[in-house]
C-alpha cells in the first residue's frame, strides 16, 4: 500500500486507528479453545468487528512465535484474512546484516503479504536497506519507544550534533528512504517529544504505541504529532481486543474501536494542519 | 549451560569454534531436496561432522523464518538434535517491550531449549531483562557488529562519558547481569577495537562473527580478545557449511571445522592469559 492509499483510507474512515493483534491463548475467551485454531478464530472475529473503524492491523510477532510452527500458521492465516485495503504491520523489531535482513524481508513481505515491518536501527543502514528493496513495502524504524528502557540509550546525547540518539536515527535514516517507505515508532508516553520529532520529520508517518494500557494520551499525541496528511497511526492492543472475555468479546472490541475512531474524527477536525 | 561448563568444553576440545547454521535451500547440495525435511537433513549431517571441533552452534533464525511454519519445524528439530554438552545460540536479534520480550524468551528458551539468544539493545533494560529471568540462559547483546552499517550509530560519541555508543551499551548492560548470563557480539572486522572492548568487559564472553567470508582475522581476534577463560566464541558459517556443494559436503565441513580448531588450539596456547 502506498502513502496516498493510506491517506485516502484515513480520510474515508475518519480514523487513524491501528489495532494491535497481541493475541494470547491465556487471555482470549476460553470457549474459543475448542476451535482447531483458536488464535485465528479470535483474530477473525476481532477483524470483522473492528475493520470499519481501523486503518491498520499490527500483529505482534512474538505472540505467534511463542506458539511455534502452529503460531506461525495462525499468523499466515490472519494476514491473509485482513482486507486488502487495510494497512498491515508485522511488529517484529528485526534488523541484522544485509543477507539476513533480506531473508526477514522475504518472510514478511513475500511469504506473507505484510505492507510493513518494524525494524531496530542499531546495526545501521545495511541492516535496514534490504527491507526497502521491496517496492510498495514500508520500514517502520524504532525511534523513541514507549517503554521505560527507552531512556537508557535513546536519550544519550550525541556530541557531534548535540542531539539525542533517537534524533540521529531519524535524521540519518531519512537519507535512506523517502516518506513513501519510511515511518517511525514514536511512543505515546512521549507526547512532550512528539512535537519536536514532527519538526525533524515533517512528512513521515509515525506509528504510535502506548495509548491506553501504557498510559499515553490520544489527545496530546494527536495535538502535537499530526501533520497535513494526519501522519499518525495510533495503536491500541489490549484495550480493544480484551475489552471483554465473554461471548460478546468481538462486539465489545468493536465498541472500543468505534469509541476511539470517534475521538479521532474529532481530533482530525481539530488538529490536522492544512 | 553455565559459564564453567562452557569453559570446560573449550578446554577439552581445545576449540572456541561456533558453527553458524545459516542453512539455505538454494545453497545446500541439491540431492538433499529429495528428503522430507532437507534443512534438517543438512543440519544433521553438518552437526555430526563438526561436533568434535565445535563448542557452539548458532542457527540464524531468519533462514528458518523465511520458510514459514515448515522452517520453524526444521529449527525445532535441529536444536533438539544438537548434543546437550554443546552451547546453542538463537541468532535472532530480538528485543521489545517487557511483555513481548518475555514471549520471545519463551519461544527460544522454553519451547526450544536454546542456551542463549542474541538481543538488540536499542530499547534498553526492560527489553533485555525478561531474557535474564530464565535461570541458566544467556543474553548475547549486540555491541559492535561486523557490518558496514555498524558505523552509522554504534560509533556515535556520547557527550556525557566521551565514549562510543557501543561502549555505553557494554558499560550499562554489565550492571544488569553478571558475566554468567551476559555475552557481547563483537565483530571480527573490528579487531582493532576488540582489545579496548576487552578492557571494559574483562570477564564477559564475546561472540565474534565476521571471520572468513566477512574478512576478519582469527589470529588478531584471538590475540586481542582472549582472556584467562578464553572468553571467545568465534563463529564461522558459510566457510564451513558450504565448503562443498557435492555429496562430500559433510566431510568437507568437518575438515574446515577441524582446520579452524587446530588454529584455535595454537592460539589458546599462545594468547590465553593466565
Question: How far apart, in whole angstroms, are the C-alpha atoms of residue B97 and residue B118?
Answer: 16
pLDDT of residue A153: 95
What residues of chain A lie within 8 A of the CB of B62, using their CB?
A: 94, 96, 100-101, 103-104, 107
Q: From residue A226, give the alpha-carbon distance in Å to each of A47, A88, A185.
A: 26, 21, 14
Using pLDDT thresholds of 50, 70 and 90, give the confidence band for residue A212: confident
Residue of A nearest to B70 (CA): A69
Question: How far apart, in whole angstroms, are the C-alpha atoms of residue A68 and residue B197?
Answer: 36
- pLDDT of B273 higher than 80: no
Buried b (16+ CB within 10 A) or exposed e, A79-106: beebeeebbbbbbbbbbbbbbbbbbbbb
With a pLDDT cut of 90, the percent of chain A lying above it is 92
B266: closest CA of chain A, how far (Å): 30
Which residue stretches of B56-138 are H helix?
61-65, 68-81, 98-105, 125-132
Q: Determine whether the interchain pair B152/A124 forms a contact, defined as Cβ–Cβ distance below 8 Å.
A: yes
What residues of chain B lie within 8 A of the CB of A111, using their CB?
A: 66-68
A10-48 pLDDT tens trace: 999 999 999 999 999 999 999 999 999 999 999 999 999
Cell numbers at residue A119, please?
525494524
Question: How far apart, in whole angstroms, are the C-alpha atoms of residue B232 and residue B234?
Answer: 6
The answer to whether B124 and A152 have CB atoms below 8 angstroms apart is yes
Using pLDDT thresholds of 50, 70 and 90, give the confidence band for residue A160: confident
pLDDT of residue B274: 60
Based on its alpha-carbon atoms, the radius of gyration of chain B, rounded to whole angstroms, reads 18
Ordered by where they begin, the domains of chain A are 3-271 (3.20.20.70)
Residue of B nearest to A167 (CA): B153
- pLDDT of A215 higher than 80: no
Place of cell 565476521: B210
pLDDT of residue B160: 84
Phi-psi region of A153 (alpha: psi -120 to 50; beta: other; left: phi over 0): alpha
Q: Determine whether the interchain pair B159/A154 forms a contact, defined as Cβ–Cβ distance below 8 Å.
A: no
Cell numbers at residue A269, please?
477536525
- From the CB of residue B220, how many other CB atoms can be counted at a distance below 10 Å? 16
Q: Determine whether the interchain pair A165/B169 forms a contact, defined as Cβ–Cβ distance below 8 Å.
A: no
Q: From residue A174, give the alpha-carbon distance in Å to each of A129, A179, A204, B80.
A: 12, 8, 9, 43
Q: Which one is predicted more confidently, A186 or B215?
A: A186
Question: How far apart, in whole angstroms, are the C-alpha atoms of residue B43 and residue B65?
Answer: 16
- pLDDT of A188 higher than 80: yes
Residue of A nearest to B209 (CA): A97
Question: Which of A20, A92, A93, A172 is best to mutate for the B interface (most B CBs within 10 A)?
Answer: A93
A86-145 pLDDT tens trace: 999 999 999 999 999 999 999 999 999 999 999 999 999 999 999 999 999 999 999 999
pLDDT of residue A84: 97
Q: Determine whether the interchain pair B62/A104 forms a contact, defined as Cβ–Cβ distance below 8 Å.
A: yes
B3-56 pLDDT tens trace: 999 999 999 999 999 999 999 999 999 999 999 999 999 999 999 999 999 999
pLDDT of residue A274: 60
Q: What is the mean pLDDT of chain A?
A: 95
Q: What is the mean pLDDT of chain B?
A: 95
In the set B77, B93, B102, B255, the catalytic residue is B93
With a pLDDT cut of 90, the percent of chain B lying above it is 92
Q: Determine whether the interchain pair B158/A160 forms a contact, defined as Cβ–Cβ distance below 8 Å.
A: no
- By Cβ distance, the residue of B66, B106, B147 closest to A111 is B66
B231-253 pLDDT tens trace: 999 999 999 999 999 999 999 99
Amino acid at each position: 500500500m502506498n502513502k496516498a492509499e493510506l491517506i485516502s483510507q484515513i480520510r474515508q474512515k475518519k480514523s487513524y486507528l491501528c489495532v494491535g493483534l497481541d493475541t494470547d491463548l491465556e487471555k482470549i475467551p476460553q470457549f474459543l479453545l475448542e476451535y482447531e485454531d483458536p488464535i485465528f478464530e479470535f483474530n477473525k472475529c476481532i477483524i470483522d468487528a473492528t475493520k470499519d473503524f481501523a486503518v491498520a492491523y499490527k500483529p505482534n510477532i512474538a505472540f505467534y512465535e511463542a506458539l511455534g510452527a502452529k503460531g506461525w500458521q495462525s499468523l499466515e492465516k490472519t494476514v491473509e484474512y485482513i482486507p486488502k485495503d487495510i494497512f498491515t504491520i508485522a511488529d517484529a523489531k528485526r534488523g541484522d546484516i544485509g543477507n539476513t535482513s533480506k531473508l526477514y524481508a522475504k518472510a514478511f513481505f513475500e511469504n506473507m503479504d505484510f505492507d510493513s515491518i518494524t525494524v531496530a536501527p542499531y546495526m545501521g543502514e545495511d541492516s535496514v536497506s534490504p527491507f526497502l528493496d521491496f517496492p510498495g513495502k514500508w520500514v517502520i524504524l524504532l525511534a523513541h519507544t514507549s517503554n521505560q528502557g527507552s531512556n537508557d540509550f535513546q536519550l544519550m546525547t550525541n556530541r557531534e550534533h548535540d542531539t539525542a540518539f533517537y534524533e540521529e536515527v531519524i535524521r540519518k535514516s531519512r537519507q535512506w528512504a523517502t516518506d513513501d517507505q519510511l515511518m517511525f515508532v514514536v511512543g505515546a508516553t512521549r507526547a512532550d517529544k512528539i512535537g519536536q520529532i514532527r519538526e525533524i520529520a515533517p512528512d513521515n508517518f509515525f506509528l504510535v504505541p502506548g495509548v491506553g494500557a501504557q498510559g499515553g494520551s490520544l489527545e496530546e499525541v494527536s495535538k502535537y504529532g499530526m501533520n497535513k496528511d494526519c501522519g499518525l497511526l495510533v495503536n491500541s492492543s489490549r484495550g480493544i481486543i480484551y475489552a471483554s472475555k465473554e461471548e460478546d468479546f468481538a462486539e465489545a472490541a468493536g465498541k472500543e474501536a468505534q469509541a476511539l475512531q470517534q475521538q479521532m474524527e474529532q481530533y482530525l477536525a481539530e488538529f490536522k494542519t492544512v
